[in-house]
Amino acid sequence: MADPFGEAYRGYLSGNHEPMVIEREDGYVDTDNLESYFASYSDFPACQKKALEKAKGRVLDIGMGVGRVALHLQKKGFDVVGIDISDLAISVARERGVKFALKMSACDLDFPDNRFDTVMALGNNFGLCGSPDMVAAMLVRLRRILSDDGIIIAESLDPLNTTLPEHLSYQEENRSRGKPPGQIRTRFRYGKSVGAWYDLLLTTPAEMKTISERAGWTISEMFYYPESGPMYTVVLSKS
């Protein structure tokens, strides 16, 4: 299977800073700046820095990529396990120093009960599983593998925080099809590597609250700073 994310990470590490290309099903095209995946803590968005202060105990980083968050938490003394579905991403993360990097999907978690105290789901990873029902199912599984006072530190881009006509028209089309406005069907390209189409769910704070409460979670804290753009970060606690 093509792995544009992993190939892009490997290319960047080798000095090739060609961007990844993001395609949406309606023909909208953008590029993804790879530098952000390798950012050091000093360059993290303010909302992420604030949320990371809440991390505690044993940590699971879902969709870890090249280990940006995992490496920071390791340096702070945390016991961190990172998971990703890309073999190349895992390889790069290990090369960069992530001690425990496993191939696993956030939508099909395989850990024992009470294994972790904190789950990190930064960088739109709250919506990795693609739909409200699938994200709620992920949150139910996370509830099982987290300790009684375990937390999820999650992040999403607010899809309604935009004035761009191409995004507003896509959101309206989603509504007409009975989908949430921020449910995006997308794929990535890097060089000749073209990934499969998949759904990513971007949620408003109200949508995140509704989905979380369905799965037994409450938003206990929220961090939003205008300079971070439409991104916001939350701490979810068990209801």
CATH number for 203: 3.40.50.150
Core vs surface per residue 9-47: b (16+ CB within 10 A) or e: bbbbbeeeeeebbbbbeeeeeeebebeebbeeeeebbeb
Longest Cα–Cα distance in the chain:
48
pLDDT value at 1 more than 90: no
Q: What domain range includes position 200? A: 4-238
- What is the model's pLDDT at position 12? 95
Please state, in angstroms and rounded to a whole number, the distance separating the CA atoms of residues 138 and 125.
11
pTM (predicted TM-score): 0.96
d(CA 53, CA 220): 14
Residues 68-83: what's their mean pLDDT? 98
Domains identified in the chain, total number: 1
Q: Which residue has the tokens 């881009």?
A: 157
- Cβ burial, residue 149 (10 Å; 0-12/13-18/19+): exposed
